[in-house]
């Protein structure tokens, strides 16, 4: 399958279901009308349920492709993920994808769940998922998961595209090898260049071409006509990204490790003022696509040259979500879809 048609990039949008469901669905309807191709809903236990939100979005939209971005195999068993996605695909046939990743260590720790063998867990989840979609009885005994003769009492419509959320080298290579798409959790050309290099290795090992895989930059994004307002909206998200980034990535962007530790400590203590106040312009540049529409166009163009085929507008989107969606559709998307 070829993901970029006539050189045009696909645009996705991510929503975190923190607010009342009707607000998220309003934004989803708006995004579809405004020309976005993909809708991604995050899956964290402390927000509203991802599949309830996706179901409502599927009912109130007609063509936008949708899925979790991303779910994990630790809190939700692979068989249950297959059940949920197959059921959603009945509701919105041909419009559903699965976004799967290892999950967030901090979030999992809060639930008392151990992130055991993350690479193996994701690979086994995909294996079980695909077998379940083949409408056969699945017997599988892996290192992390087992399926002892599981089978649906209904018939899934068919295979669902699988996007693997990846950041580390092995996960990126694996995503390129076995995924239909890769969700790169990065906003800067340095990180995307590195990721695409690893994905290409996996793609090559599988005997595929890079154009067979939807290489997706899953970014922290903020746009406003005034650059300062766009940057201010991005600060909280960037603070959490810095706190969760391994030192090797921070060093790639010359981020002071002591400053990063300061942000981590402040967030852990619940001192958000201190954490957000410690975010530097360099951190915003490294971990977000942020600024005026023209500036965002320049940054997206650099990511396209690195090899992506879908650009995801992720949280916070901008100081005002509704106005930012309109601004993106009026000034940014037309630039890439002339």
Percent of the chain topping pLDDT 90? 91
CA-CA distance, 290 to 191, in Å (whole number)? 16
Map out the domains of the chain as residue ranges.
Answer: 10-225+292-336, 228-288
Q: How confident is the model at residue 7 (pLDDT cuts 50, 70, 90)?
A: low
What values do phi and psi take at 229, rounded to 5?
-70, -35
CB-based contact 132:138 (threshold 8 Å): yes
Give the CATH number of domain 10-225+292-336: 3.20.20.30
Report pLDDT digits (tens) over 166-176. 989 999 999 99
How many angstroms from the chain centroid is the CA of residue 151?
Answer: 29
For residue 303, pLDDT over 90 is answered with: yes
Report pLDDT digits (tens) over 105-162. 777 888 999 999 999 999 999 999 999 999 889 999 999 999 999 999 999 988 899 9
CB-based contact 63:38 (threshold 8 Å): no
The gap between the terminal CA atoms of the chain, to the nearest Å, is: 22
Q: Helix (H, G, I), strand (E, B), or coil: what is residue 121?
A: helix
pTM of the model: 0.94
State the CB neighbour count (10 A cutoff) for residue 235. Answer: 20
């Amino acid at each position: 399958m070829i993901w970029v048609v006539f050189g045009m990039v696909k645009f996705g949008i991510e929503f975190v279901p923190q607010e009342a469901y009707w607000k998220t669905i309003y934004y989803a309807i708006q995004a579809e009308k405004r020309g976005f191709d993909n809708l991604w809903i995050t899956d964290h236990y402390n927000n509203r349920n991802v599949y309830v939100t996706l179901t409502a979005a599927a009912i109130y939209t007609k063509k936008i492709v949708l899925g979790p971005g991303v779910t994990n195999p630790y809190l939700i068993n692979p068989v249950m993920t297959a059940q949920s996605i197959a059921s959603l695909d009945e509701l919105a046939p041909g419009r559903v994808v699965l976004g799967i990743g290892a999950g967030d260590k901090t979030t999992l720790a809060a639930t008392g769940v151990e992130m055991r063998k993350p690479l193996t867990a994701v690979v086994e989840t995909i294996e079980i998922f695909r077998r379940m979609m083949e409408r056969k009885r699945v017997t599988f005994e892996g290192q992390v998961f087992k399926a002892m003769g599981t089978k649906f009492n209904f018939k899934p419509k068919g295979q669902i595209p699988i996007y693997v959320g990846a950041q580390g080298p092995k996960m990126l290579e694996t995503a390129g090898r076995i995924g239909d798409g890769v969700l790169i959790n990065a906003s800067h050309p340095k990180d995307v260049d590195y990721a695409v290099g690893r994905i290409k290795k996996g793609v090559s090992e599988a005997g595929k071409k890079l154009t067979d895989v939807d290489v997706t930059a899953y970014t922290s994004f903020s746009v406003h006509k005034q650059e300062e307002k766009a940057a201010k909206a991005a600060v909280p998200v960037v603070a959490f990204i810095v706190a969760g980034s391994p030192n090797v990535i921070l060093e790639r962007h010359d981020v002071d490790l002591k400053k990063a530790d300061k942000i981590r400590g402040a967030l852990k203590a619940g001192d958000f003022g201190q954490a957000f106040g410690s975010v530097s312009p360099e951190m915003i540049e490294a971990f977000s696509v942020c600024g005026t529409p023209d500036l965002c166009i320049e940054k997206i163009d650099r990511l396209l040259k690195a090899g992506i085929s879908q650009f995801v507008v992720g949280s916070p989107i901008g100081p005002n979500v509704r106005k930012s969606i309109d601004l993106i559709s009026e000034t940014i998307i037309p630039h890439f879809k002339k």
